[in-house]
Structure 1
Amino acid sequence: MGRKLLKVFIAILLLQLSHNSTWGVKKSFITLHKSDSDRQSLDFILPDPADELGAQCLQHSAYFCLMGYRIYKKEREREPREDDKHQFEILVRDRAHRLNWFSFKEEDKNTDYCCTHQVNMYVEHGQRNGLSPEEYLSKVFDFHLTTQKDVVFIKVRWVPEACTHVISQIGFGLGKLKIVGGRGLTKKFVLPPLGNSQKIQILTGYQIKTKLAFPWFVVWVICGEKPWLCPNTDGFASSSGGRNL
């Protein structure tokens, strides 16, 4: 089933690229930097059938899965407490699936895909930086309270048949854009089909910062699958543009 889906994906990609005859390459204003201490990123996995995590995500959602919130700088001087991990597990177990936050670790397959990965993310990026379990969870689940997040991270895989990058992970937050993998910004970038759409969104490198905006992702990806999480997205919708990039 996975191989068949991948072949269909590549076939659709090649077909859509063949209809796109104008590919002027502009000089990119994006520079690639290593992670700096001030960056923060709310990271998502996209359902790419050829990517290991993407294929696992696709078993649960055709839109997205949450990776977690990455923080690289101490935010408070709070000392870790003995029961932090236990308290976080209690809190996250009831909320994780609301935002497609799954643990794909073998030991969690029989526990509703929770909570080894989620707890590890809290320890590494929350507890280590002075955040309580509640404070770290608010970083993750209060995404709708602000539109002030830039695309700061994408992970791509190279598809030589189409001479194109497929975006398998994306992160929004603070910091310089970091791209992992691929052949540089002069090549094309695409998102895998999301939801019920068979349309593949095609971007040039210089469009990444402007087209892959957080308001667009919230309205058309997160709220597209989970509208009950988004009772008021007017502020997002006004700055998100259309469904197609």
Structure 2
Amino acid sequence: MAPTLVSAAVGALLAAALLGRAFDRRSVAVVVAAAVASDLDAVASLVVPGAANALFHTLWLPLVAGFALRWDTVHRDRSWLRERAGQTTGDRAVRVAWVALASFAVAGIGPDLFWRAGVNLLYPVHDAYYLVSGRLVLSTQEGIVQTFVTLGREGPGVFPIERLGTSETYAVPTWVNPDGRPGLSLDAEREFALVRTGWQLVVVASAVATLAVRFRRADAEVAR
């Protein structure tokens, strides 16, 4: 599981990039909360076998939520979300909702799909953990080398997807549940990782700096 702080940082960067006029502290908090919400399945793994990186990391959640949000805000005569937010802030609430949904999928699910433990993408309809790995290199001898997509006689195929197991045979260790199995072990060593690599620290630092600049500009515009 990728560090929760990294997911929060990616969510913060999405908030700074996509919120537009809806950017403020409350909206950023909503988007960042959506980015880390998927990690709550680590707590659920204490009672639900194989829940970590599965229960709240499944693509069905953002797909269903996206369908419901579009139906409510585009196809309904009277949008529940717009009415609840109020006449003056209805469109603002819709934008925040879409950015939060993108944050859940990209910042919450995305890093774990490409980082060590993998994700049970279609749980519970299809029970299998997948990890995507690959590389893109410009070589002086081989030219462009990439392993994300390969071309064969049967057409393009994505080969770096590794199947790791099912919720019954594969367990994702977390700081809440180190062995990944149901039950709370009080004697187990727990390690809450903030960042694990240098590039993750760069992402977190970039998010902090970006938010600082955006909040400063937003405060300056309000003061005018």
* Smaller-chain TM-score bracket: under 0.3
Query: Highest CA radius of gyration, 1 or 2?
Result: 2
- Which protein has greater RCO, CA pairs closer than 8 Å, 6+ apart? 2
TM-score (norm 1): 0.21
Q: Which has the higher helix share?
A: 2
Q: Which has the higher strand share?
A: 1
